[in-house]
Amino acid sequence: MKFDTAYSLSLDDKLSIYDVRDLNFDETADFDSDTDHFLCPNDVCRAAFDTGNTLSTFNAKNVNYKRTPHFKNKTGTRHIEGCRYASAHRNAAGESDDDREENFPSEFVLTRRQYERKSHLTGTENVTLQEPTKALSNRVATSHGHNDTTPDKTSVFAHPVECYVSNIDDKDKLKSMPLKIGEHTATYWAFFKKIEYLQDNKGLIYWGRIKAIKDYTSSFRIDFEKKVWLDKKPYAVNVYLSKKLIENYRKRTAFLEQIKAAAASEHALYCFFYGVTPQLKLVPSKKNPEQTFGVFSANIENLDHLIIREAPGVE
């Protein structure tokens, strides 16, 4: 059993592991998962121990991960009797974790979650020293409406993508899990659309295997391997990522590391994106600028809604 959610002592809030990754890579956020303390998300259980009773993270900082990120118990992590996270304790001894994301958010929220530090103390060590039990039990008392279940919404695109990719061998599951994005509600299965079928519907999460990533002066271009057929003719599909957009991105360093590694990678890589639908455009031919050819293309508008990753088993 894996935890996808834990209580962050520095933020005094419950975070998903995808929130943690987002914060770790965010150059504008004062956050480092290595110095935070992650505690059991069960309020009652957490209140029973001091803040040294922590969980560890898995793939919280790896830009290009293969195995599903999660929180897990350390060998010495304790839980109260009946805590639903106690059974995960056994895995601390090194048993293999089931490598799939089991917590399907029912909504992908398009505006980014704001994480506010509620405590005036910035150092987690200070919090540890100052009556942690009292502080924690106060929080429990004021959060009676909350429970330890995982948050139902996410604003981190990697979370629904991980649900889809790691459960790709279980189509029934993907067809049964609901997902809401904006005003549109469908199943995970229906929301993820192979790039070659992008004409089927607008506003979906499109994905496909990357053929090449071109590094131009003012943009990167991601070419997809599959083509779109229109009137019995095949058209190439691509998306452009403006370098200006990347320069101003709060996760710039991690993003550049990822796309440069992807451009040089010999592994099969896939691109997932949401928010734009490639449209047929006529572009001048390089060899003969008077001639044009058609290509389905889009400019990515929000880098938070694009992912390049390996996705074993999707084809």
Binding site for Zn ion (CB under 5 A): 40, 42, 45, 79, 83, 85
Q: Which is nearer to Zn ion, 148 or 162 (CB)?
A: 148
Q: How far is the CB of 138 from Zn ion (least distance, A)?
A: 19
Nearer residue to Zn ion within complex by CB, 79 or 251: 79
Task: In angstroms, give the least distance from the CB of 53 to Zn ion.
Answer: 9
Q: How far apart are CA 120 and CA 172, in angstroms?
A: 47
Rounded to the nearest whole angstrom, what is the least distance from the CB of residue 81 to Zn ion in the complex?
Answer: 10
Task: Decide whether 78 or 173 has the Cβ nearer to Zn ion.
Answer: 78
Of 45 and 158, nearer to Zn ion (C-beta) is 45
Q: How far is the CB of 40 from Zn ion (least distance, A)?
A: 3
CB of residue 41 to Zn ion, shortest distance in Å: 8
CB closer to Zn ion, 9 vs 40: 40
Q: Shortest approach of Zn ion to residue 5 CB, angstroms?
A: 12
- Which lies closer to Zn ion via its Cβ, residue 76 or residue 123? 76
Cα separation of 214 and 282, whole Å? 19
Query: Which residues have a Cβ under 8 Å from the Cβ of 46 and sit 6 or more positions away?
Result: 7, 39, 40, 136, 140
Strand stretches in the chain, DSSP E = 5-8, 13-16, 38-39, 55-58, 70-73, 107-108, 153-154, 178-181, 184-187, 192-194, 205-215, 219-224, 228-230, 233-242, 270-273, 279-284, 292-299, 306-309
**210-216 — which CB contacts under 8 Å span 24+ positions?**
210/262, 210/269, 210/270, 210/271, 210/308, 213/259, 213/262, 213/263, 215/263
